[in-house]
Amino acid sequence: MAPEGNKTEVMISCQPYVSCVLLRIFPYLIGVVIICGNLLIIMSVIYFKQLHTPTNYLILSLAVSDLLIGLLIIPLNAEFNMDYCRTHGGLVCIAQQCIRVTLTTASILNLMCISIDRYYAVCKPLVYKTTITLNVVVFMILLSWSSSFLLSIGFVVAEINYAKCGEKCYIDVFIANVSGPNFTFFLPTIIMLCIYAKIFFVAQKQARSIQNRTYPNRTVRKTEGKATKTLVIIMGAFLICCSPLFIFLMILFINKVSVSVEVIDFLSWLIMSNSLLNPFIYAFFYSWYRSAFKIVISGKMSLGHFSHIRLE
């Protein structure tokens, strides 16, 4: 009977070990997928001349921020989670928080810039090329990244001061817990919702105008359905991934209640998962990106003479 008892003990003790290993590996698997997906976008935009457009440069900036999230934030978050930083602190945790705020804010602001670009492309097509120029796009990208960095520095300094003096530092508490979510999430989200709502109504109006001229009802319904589906996917994925944490933090600050760090960690991982979805939403949706990815993955890019190829 002894050997059977020992065997049972071994089987029971192995199960938690396997679970721990899977939980340990899972974040790195997500990071690898994020890196690979966004690296495909970066290589495609840089290599193929057809993709050298203002819109694709904005998508490139978004891919860089998402790539860095997979490359830096996910490994740091796996090694130094919120519970570790709360109990140990240190320079690594401060740097991690600064990098996380910078990259997540840059990703959100890049999404907002893309929505502005799409607004001019759909709603003001006659002035699009003269308004959204290369210089304007470069300015938008630099503004997004510099604003993200400055905001992250301000939030980290505010939280450090708050840790030292507690509730006496009301201004620091306000900056870290109220102004932070407003500037990094709520304000860009409201702007994007307004822009995409305008795009949707303009696209519907254009589709009906075309219907009155040449297209049958089925074609117009298909066009409107495709526009609706695209906007729902873009904003739906963003809101599902990002809104829970920011809304949760605001509720915690207003009600002054405590919550387990596991909940905050989970909601933080949910935000980072948006970097996994962005390549599929903003790149896989377009056929020319799919063609570019096939060339990159097949290794034909190394043969040369593909940079000027017509992507369809």
Q: How many CB atoms lie within 10 A of CB 256?
A: 7
**Within a domain: residue 291?**
no
Specify whether the CB–CB gap between 85 and 93 falls below 8 A: yes
List Cβ neighbours of 254 (8 Å cut-off, separation of 6 or more).
Answer: none
pLDDT tens for each residue of 143-180: 999 999 988 887 777 767 666 665 555 555 555 666 66
Distance in angstroms (rounded) separating the CA atoms of residues 19 and 162 = 37
**Within a domain: residue 41?**
yes
**CA end-to-end span of the chain, whole Å?**
69
Q: How many CB atoms lie within 10 A of CB 43?
A: 16
Q: Which pLDDT belongs to residue 10?
A: 36
Specify whether the CB–CB gap between 246 and 186 falls below 8 A: yes
Candidates 212, 211, 215, 151; CA nearest to 183 is 151
Give the structural domain span for 42. 2-277
Q: Which pLDDT belongs to residue 174?
A: 59
Distance in angstroms (rounded) separating the CA atoms of residues 114 and 109 = 9
**Within a domain: residue 233?**
yes
Q: Which pLDDT belongs to residue 279?
A: 81
**Within a domain: residue 310?**
no
Q: Which pLDDT belongs to residue 290?
A: 84
**Within a domain: residue 288?**
no
Query: Would you state the structure tokens that stand for residue 125, as one six-digit string?
Result: 């097509």
Q: Which pLDDT belongs to residue 200?
A: 82
Query: CA-based angle 283:270:30, to the nearest 5?
Result: 60
Q: How many CB atoms lie within 10 A of CB 140?
A: 22
**Within a domain: residue 298?**
no
Residues of the chain below pLDDT 70? 1-24, 80-90, 159, 161-180, 207, 210-231, 253, 256-261, 283-284, 304
Q: Which pLDDT belongs to residue 18?
A: 58
**Within a domain: residue 83?**
yes
**Within a domain: residue 285?**
no
Q: Specify the CATH number for the domain of residue 199.
A: 1.20.1070.10
How many domains, in total, are found in the chain? 1
Q: Which pLDDT belongs to residue 140?
A: 97
Specify whether the CB–CB gap between 16 and 268 falls below 8 A: no
Q: Provide Rg for the chain, Cα atoms.
A: 23
One-letter amino acid of 214: T
Distance in angstroms (rounded) separating the CA atoms of residues 299 and 8 = 50
Q: How crowded is the C-beta side of 288, counted as CA atoms within 13 Å?
A: 15
Specify whether the CB–CB gap between 44 and 293 falls below 8 A: yes
Specify whether the CB–CB gap between 219 and 226 falls below 8 A: no
